[in-house]
Chains A and B, each alone.
Chain A
Amino acid sequence: MEAFKLYYLKYYQRVYATCLLILKNYALAEEATQEAFLKAYTKLSTLKDQEKFGAWVAAIATKLSIDIYNQNKKLSLFKEEEVRQQYTEIWETPDNYEPCHKYIEKETNQEIRKAIYGLTPVLKQMVILKYYWNLTDPEIAEMLNIPVGTVKSSLYRARKLLEKKLTVIDRDYRKLI
């Protein structure tokens, strides 16, 4: 139990942030996170690689988050604006930038984050597991118990959507310079 507590304390924040990005609701995100750790605790013996504990719990959490999202999607999300700001507001910009470039850089970054934030829960799940938790496509497929092809096609769709958005952002900001 003590060892599990160490893992829990190490990964709680990141798993919670993962759920919050999908659910856009603090209470539901907490629920998904706690349930994910409970599931992880009971199924710990099935984890093949201890190094992947964080990603494994995150995969469980994203699955639960999507279930919770589907059950609650008709409800208006509480404090969603605050969550949106949490993920899209940019405070930091490099010091050595000219004020104009600094502004454009900040606005561009904000638009990119808004694009990620706006992805559907399933696409966000794939993007998070792939780019944040550094899982390979077969690993995602195994952890989510879905075919590798589904993972690849979801990631392809997510990339295409973000690429399209980035092209528009880039074009708009180039007009300003």
Chain B
Amino acid sequence: MKELDKIITQHIQAMLDAPIPIELEEKWRDFEKRKKQQQKPKKFAPGKLIIVAASVLIVFLVTAMNSAVVIGFKDNLFQWVTKTNQGGIVISEKRNPEYKAGTYHNLTWEEAKSMVSYELKDPQYIPEILPSPPEISLSAEEYPLSEVTIKYIEEETSLKIKQRNMGINENRNIYVPQNAEHRKLPVRNGLEVIVLENEGGLKFIWIENNVRFEVLAKEIPEEEIIKVINGLK
């Protein structure tokens, strides 16, 4: 029985200690919010609700105007608030597609693009060994969160490119567990990616324009993966 206990301990530890990318500070903020909500007496006050909503909108717009491009969500409307060089403000709108939460497989590039409210990046460079076209799938979670996976597999060689929008919160950190083998790698125009290494492959993670990217590669040299990352447009 002791041998069995040893095997269970060894595997359960490996399973639960495996790296899961988590933005800890964001979780803590969510925890604090929940704690406050728990402490508040539940009273319905429509007047207060309107004031809070208006304040949130004002704060959002003020924040939006200070940055180059900011995204916001209102019902099914996706808005870009942009400040022009002349100081003018342009609000462009796009109505979001309505679809149920779930996983959608075998999509075409155009279908995937039409189903997300953010700008999907198309890989311009793919190593020759990998087949084309790729398998494209989309996982839709609670609106408007969604993740698109572009997958190329050729026997042992595989490449997965994941793109996931992160709502309106910005400046999120990428959580890397203490014991995970990782390093930072500058790729292009000041963009730095986190590389998690395993004997079986490499995982590259970065956040760009509020979209979280993950490139998972097996049996592909690192230089080739960097070309793939630099070719995402």
**Chain A residues in contact with chain B, CB under 8 A?**
5, 8-9, 12-14, 16-18, 20-21, 27, 30, 34, 37-38, 41-42, 78-79, 86-87, 90-93, 95, 109, 112-113, 116-117, 127-128, 131-132, 159, 162-163, 166
Q: Is B9 part of the contact surface with A, judged by Cβ < 8 Å?
A: yes
Which residues of chain B are near A113, meaning CB under 8 Å? Answer: 11, 14-15
Q: Tell me whether B11 and A112 are in contact (CB under 8 A).
A: yes
**Chain B residues in contact with chain A, CB under 8 A?**
1, 4-5, 7-9, 11-18, 20, 22, 24, 27-28, 30-31, 34-35, 38, 101-103, 139, 141-142, 175, 177, 198-201
Query: How far, in angstroms, from A8 to B14 measured CA to CA in the complex?
Result: 21
Chain B interface helix/strand/loop/mixed: helix
Chain A interface helix/strand/loop/mixed: helix
Q: Tell me whether A34 and B31 are in contact (CB under 8 A).
A: yes
Q: Could you list 16 further interchain pairs (A-B, Cβ under 8 angstroms) beyond the known A17-B16, A79-B139, A113-B15?
A: A14-B17, A16-B22, A18-B16, A21-B15, A27-B141, A34-B30, A78-B102, A87-B18, A93-B199, A116-B8, A116-B12, A127-B8, A131-B9, A131-B13, A132-B16, A166-B4
* Residue from the list A86, A112, A166 in contact with B20, Cβ < 8 A: A86
* Residue from the list A41, A95, A162 in contact with B4, Cβ < 8 A: A162
Query: How far, in angstroms, from A13 to B7 measured CA to CA in the complex?
Result: 23
Which residues of chain B are near A132, meaning CB under 8 Å? Answer: 9, 12-13, 16
Q: How many A-B residue pairs have CB under 8 A?
A: 96
Which residues of chain B are near A27, meaning CB under 8 Å? Answer: 141-142
Also in contact, A116 and B20, with CB within 8 A (given A91-B201, A92-B198) = no
Q: Tell me whether A12 and B20 are in contact (CB under 8 A).
A: no
Q: Of B7, B15, B22, B200, which is in contact with the most chain A CB atoms at under 10 Å from its CB? A: B15
